[in-house]
């Protein structure tokens, strides 16, 4: 992991200011002489800049994002807890971590940070901008904010604005965190028990009915407790709480709620029509978090767009799991 220390202030969309900034990022491959082989990956909610670890079988020699051909970048998003400035970072004005005092951020603020790193790395053009789920929110915003920057746009299981369904889910997750008696303690693990519940709520929306039937069914019809599905959900909650911050989870779900390409602009259709990049949009049949109609809106709005549907039982998480199908469609589309 590399870290860029941006020593100037960042004015957020809210009007609040971060006096300085650290941006954590990973790169793979090399930038060619023309500077036209950049792939930039925008990651989702609880991921990090080490995209090769969480998006297996896509980044590497001979894979869809071939490190022999491309210079690949993924940076950790603003507000996270994996190296980029966020609630767990030290506030230079107080000398203590921000925690619940971290200012509200939006998807557009995250894109501002991506672009600061782009300028630092002296990248003039992005050949392929990639985003799944919340990463797609960032990628779409970047294409609207800087239409000439991106040649090709690859989106998976995402949307042009956060849905009322998504906002309701995030609100329920934050309620769980806020009800944790430790939430206001201003410690690194404050809200940790609430985070476990928030993750459990999230997992129900990331997967599908079919996935739970296939993988979490109990063979014993006489069981009265300790069901496999219950153990799975508790395990996922504990697993996230061990590696993530409730403060970041609260902050980032708030940021997702702000996502709306039309905010302060024209209507959504008009805004999507300004995207100049050629786009591939992939949806998953069983995705209940960003269902197919959300992808269809994007595909209908972007002038040069291809919409592909992958039939999968893995729900929203299909964008992380179905790498073979994703590689097939992406490779064919890039050759068009």
How far is residue 48's CA from residue 115's CA, in Å, rounded to a whole number? 17
Q: Which CATH number characterizes residue 228's domain?
A: 1.10.1740.110
Retrieve residue 243's tokens. 């590696």
Do 286 and 312 belong together in one domain?
yes
Do 139 and 21 belong together in one domain?
yes
Catalytic residue among 80, 89, 133, 190: 133
Q: Where residue 336 falls among pLDDT bands split at 50, 70, 90?
A: low
Residue 256, classed as helix, strand or coil, is helix
Last residue of a domain, one of 203, 236, 256: 256
E-strand spans in the chain? Answer: 2-6, 10-11, 17-18, 21-28, 38-42, 71-75, 90-91, 96-97, 126-132, 150-156, 278-284, 305-310
Last residue of a domain, one of 227, 256, 285: 256
Do 51 and 15 belong together in one domain?
yes
SS3 breakdown of the chain: % helix, strand, coil, rounded to 5?
A: 40, 20, 40
Do 227 and 264 belong together in one domain?
no
Is a pLDDT exceeding 80 seen at residue 208?
A: yes
Mean pLDDT value across the chain: 96
Number of domains comprising the chain: 2
Do 122 and 268 belong together in one domain?
yes
Task: Give residue 48's pLDDT.
Answer: 98
How far is residue 26's CA from residue 43's CA, in Å, rounded to a whole number? 12
Element (H, E) at 67: none
Do 141 and 185 belong together in one domain?
no
Q: Tell me if residue 133 is catalytic.
A: yes
pLDDT tens sequence across 249-275: 999 999 999 999 999 998 999 999 999
Task: Give residue 151's pLDDT.
Answer: 97
pLDDT tens sequence across 99-124: 999 999 999 999 999 999 999 999 99
Do 27 and 172 belong together in one domain?
no
Task: Report, as an integer, the average pLDDT of 47-54.
Answer: 96
Task: Kindly report the pTM of this predicted structure.
Answer: 0.95
Cα 95–248–118 angle (5° rounding)?
Answer: 85
Last residue of a domain, one of 224, 256, 288: 256
How far is residue 177's CA from residue 249's CA, in Å, rounded to a whole number? 9
Do 288 and 190 belong together in one domain?
no
Q: Where residue 238 falls among pLDDT bands split at 50, 70, 90?
A: very high
End-to-end C-alpha distance for the chain, whole angstroms: 34
Is a pLDDT exceeding 90 seen at residue 172?
A: yes
Q: Which CATH number characterizes residue 285's domain?
A: 3.40.50.1820
Strand order in the sheet with 150-156: 2-6, 21-28, 71-75, 38-42, 126-132, 150-156, 278-284, 305-310
Catalytic residue among 247, 259, 316, 329: 316
Catalytic residue among 287, 312, 317, 329: 287
CB neighbour class for 325 (10 Å; exposed up to 12, middle 13-18, buried from 19): middle
Do 12 and 70 belong together in one domain?
yes
Do 62 and 118 belong together in one domain?
yes
Do 135 and 204 belong together in one domain?
no
Contact by Cβ (8 Å): 124, 150: no
Do 159 and 203 belong together in one domain?
no
Q: Which domain holds residue 205?
A: 166-256
Task: Give residue 335's pLDDT.
Answer: 82
Task: Give residue 266's pLDDT.
Answer: 85
Q: Tell me if residue 316 is catalytic.
A: yes
pLDDT tens sequence across 326-335: 999 999 998 8
Task: Give residue 93's pLDDT.
Answer: 86
Q: Tell me if residue 217 is catalytic.
A: no
């Amino acid at each position: 992991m590399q870290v860029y220390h941006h020593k100037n202030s960042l004015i957020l969309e809210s009007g609040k200011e971060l006096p300085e900034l650290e941006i954590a990022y990973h790169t793979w491959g090399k930038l060619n002489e023309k500077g036209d082989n950049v792939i930039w990956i925008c990651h989702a909610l609880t991921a990090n800049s080490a995209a090769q670890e969480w998006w297996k079988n896509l980044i590497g020699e001979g894979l869809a994002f071939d490190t022999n051909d491309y210079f690949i970048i993924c940076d950790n998003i603003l507000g996270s807890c994996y190296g980029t400035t966020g609630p767990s970072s030290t506030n230079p004005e107080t000398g203590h971590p921000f925690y619940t005092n971290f200012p509200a951020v939006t998807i557009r603020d995250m894109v501002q940070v991506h672009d600061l790193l782009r300028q630092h790395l002296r990248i003039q053009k992005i050949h392929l901008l990639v985003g799944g789920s919340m990463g797609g929110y960032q990628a779409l915003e970047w294409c609207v904010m800087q239409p000439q920057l991106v040649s090709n746009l690859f989106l998976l299981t995402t949307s042009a604005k956060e849905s009322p369904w998504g906002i309701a889910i995030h609100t329920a997750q934050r309620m769980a965190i806020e009800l944790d008696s430790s939430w206001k303690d201003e410690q690194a693990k404050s809200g940790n028990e609430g985070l476990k519940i928030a993750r459990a709520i999230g997992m129900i929306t990331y997967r599908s009915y079919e996935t739970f039937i296939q993988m979490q069914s109990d063979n014993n019809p006489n069981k009265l407790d300790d069901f496999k599905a219950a153990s799975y959900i508790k395990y996922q909650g504990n697993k996230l709480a061990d590696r993530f911050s409730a403060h970041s989870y609260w902050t980032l779900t708030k940021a997702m709620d702000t996502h709306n390409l039309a905010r302060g602009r024209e209507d959504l259709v008009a805004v999507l029509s300004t995207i100049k990049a050629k786009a591939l949009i992939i949806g998953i049949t069983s995705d209940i978090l960003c269902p197919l109609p959300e992808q269809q809106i994007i595909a209908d709005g972007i002038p040069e767009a291809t919409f592909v549907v992958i039939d999968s039982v893995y729900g929203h998480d299909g964008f992380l799991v179905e790498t073979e199908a994703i590689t097939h469609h992406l490779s064919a589309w890039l050759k068009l």
